[in-house]
Chains A and B, each alone.
Chain A
Amino acid sequence: MKIKQIRLSWFRGASENATLETNDKSLVVYGRNGTGKSSFVDGIEYILRNGHISHLAHEYSGRHHKHGVRNTHTPSGIPSTIGIDFSSGETVDMQIEPDGNFKSACSPAAFETEFSKLNFARVVLRQDEIANFMLKTKGEKYSALLPLLGLHSLEVRANNIRSIKSETMSASMLQRKQTDIIRQQAAKDAAFGDKSDEEIMQCLGDLHAFYKETKLPLDRDMLINELEDAEKTIISSFNQEHARHHELTSLLATKPQDVLKSIFEILDQTNSEVDEHINDKLSILESASTYTERLDPEETIPCPACGKKILANDFKEHVENEQKSLQDLRIIYMRRNEATDNLIALIRAIPTRLRTPKLTDWLSDPAQSDVVNKIEQLEGLDLKSLRRNITALQVITITDAITLICNHVNASTVASIPEVEKLVEDKKIISAAVNLKKLDELISDVANLELLESTLTKMEQEVRNEIRFLSDKIITEISNDIQELWSILHKDKPIEDISLHLPDDDKAIDICLKFHGVSQSSPRLTLSEGHKNSLGLCIFLTLAKRGENNNAPIILDDVVTSFDREHRGFLVNLLNQHFTERQIIIFTHDREWFAELRARLPQKKWSFKMLNLWKSPTEGINWLRSSGSLFAEARHLVSENPELAGNKARTVMDIEFSIAAESLRVSLPYLRSSRNDHRTSHEFVTRIAADAKKKYKLNDDGDYVPHNGAIEALQEAERLLVSWANAASHGHLITESEAEELINACESAYTSLSCPECNELVWLANQEGQKRLQCGCGHLRWKYG
Chain B
Amino acid sequence: MANESDGSEEQAPYDSRVMEIIDDAQPRLGGATANILREIALDAASENELTQRTIQNVSASILSALNRKDSGDENKAD
Contacts and interface: CB of A to CB of B under 8 A. Distances in A.
A150 to B, nearest CB: 12
Contact of B70 (A153, A157, A445): A445
A164 B25 contact: no
B63 A168 contact: yes
B47 A455 contact: no
B23 to A, nearest CB: 10
A160 B49 contact: yes
B50 interface: yes
A253 interface: no
Contacts, number: 81
Contacts of B21: 455, 458-459, 462
A451 B41 CA distance: 16
B47 A156 contact: yes
A773 B21 CA distance: 67
Contact of A455 (B29, B59, B60): B29
A163 B50 contact: yes
Contacts of A168: 59, 62-63
Contacts of B58: 164, 167
Contact of B59 (A171, A447, A448): A171
Given A172-B63, A459-B41, A466 B14 contact: yes
A160 B33 contact: no
B63 A171 contact: yes
A455 B33 CA distance: 11
Contact of A167 (B43, B59, B66): B59
B73 to A, nearest CB: 16
Contacts of A445: 70
A758 interface: no
Interface in A297-337: none
A164 B46 contact: no
Contacts of A444: 70
Interface in B9-30: 11, 14, 17-18, 21-22, 25, 28-29
Given A156-B47, A445-B70, A452 B40 contact: no
B22 A455 contact: yes
A709 to B, nearest CB: 61
A173 to B, nearest CB: 10
A698 B43 CA distance: 67
A459 B43 CA distance: 12
B62 A463 contact: no
A456 interface: yes
B25 A451 contact: yes
A161 interface: yes
Contacts of B33: 452
Nearest to B30: A448
A456 B37 contact: yes
Binding site of B, secondary structure by majority: helix, strand, loop or mixed?
A: helix
B63 A160 contact: no
Interface string A455-482: 1101100110110010000000000000
Nearest to B56: A167
Nearest to B60: A171
B28 A157 contact: no
A159 interface: yes
A466 to B, nearest CB: 4
Which of B29, B43, B50, B70 has the most chain A CB atoms inside 10 A of its CB? Answer: B50
A445 B30 CA distance: 13
B2 to A, nearest CB: 16
A168 B69 CA distance: 16
Interface residues of B, number: 29
B40 A459 contact: yes
A320 B19 CA distance: 34
Given A157-B46, A163-B55, A448-B70, A455 B17 contact: no
Contacts of A164: 40, 50, 55, 58-59, 62
Contacts of B63: 168, 171-172
Contacts of B46: 153, 156-157, 160
A455 B37 contact: yes
A160 B49 CA distance: 6
A164 B52 CA distance: 9
B5 interface: no
Nearest to A170: B59
Contacts of A161: 40-41
B25 A455 contact: yes
Nearest to B33: A452
The listed residue with most B CB atoms (<10 A of its CB), out of A160, A172, A466, A469, is A160
Contact of B18 (A153, A172, A459, A469): A459
A171 B57 CA distance: 11
A462 B14 contact: yes
B48 interface: yes
A701 to B, nearest CB: 64
Interface string A426-447: 0000000000000000001101
A447 B29 CA distance: 10
Contacts of A172: 63
Query: Which one of A161, A164, A449, A458 has the greatest number of beta carbons of chain B within 10 Å?
Result: A164
Interface in A387-424: none
B59 to A, nearest CB: 4
A451 B29 contact: yes
B62 A462 contact: no
A451 B70 CA distance: 14
A130 B70 CA distance: 56
B5 to A, nearest CB: 18
A488 B6 CA distance: 34
Nearest to A467: B14
Nearest to B62: A168
Contacts of B37: 455-456, 459
Interface string A701-730: 000000000000000000000000000000
B47 to A, nearest CB: 5
Nearest to B13: A466
Nearest to A454: B25
A159 B40 CA distance: 12
Nearest to B47: A153
Contacts of A159: 49
Contacts of B55: 160, 163-164, 167
A451 B66 CA distance: 11
B50 to A, nearest CB: 5
Contacts of A451: 25, 28-29
Contacts of A452: 25, 29, 33, 62, 66
A783 to B, nearest CB: 56
A109 to B, nearest CB: 19
Given A156-B48, A157-B43, A451-B29, 17 more contacts: A156-B49, A160-B49, A164-B55, A168-B59, A168-B63, A171-B59, A444-B70, A448-B69, A448-B70, A451-B25, A452-B25, A459-B22, A459-B41, A462-B14, A462-B17, A463-B41, A465-B17
29 contacts: A156-B46, A157-B43, A159-B49, A160-B43, A160-B46, A163-B50, A164-B59, A167-B55, A168-B59, A168-B63, A171-B56, A171-B59, A447-B28, A448-B69, A451-B25, A451-B28, A452-B25, A452-B62, A455-B22, A459-B18, A459-B40, A459-B41, A462-B17, A462-B18, A462-B21, A462-B41, A465-B11, A465-B17, A466-B14
Interface of A: 153, 156-157, 159-161, 163-164, 167-168, 171-172, 444-445, 447-449, 451-452, 455-456, 458-459, 462-463, 465-466, 469
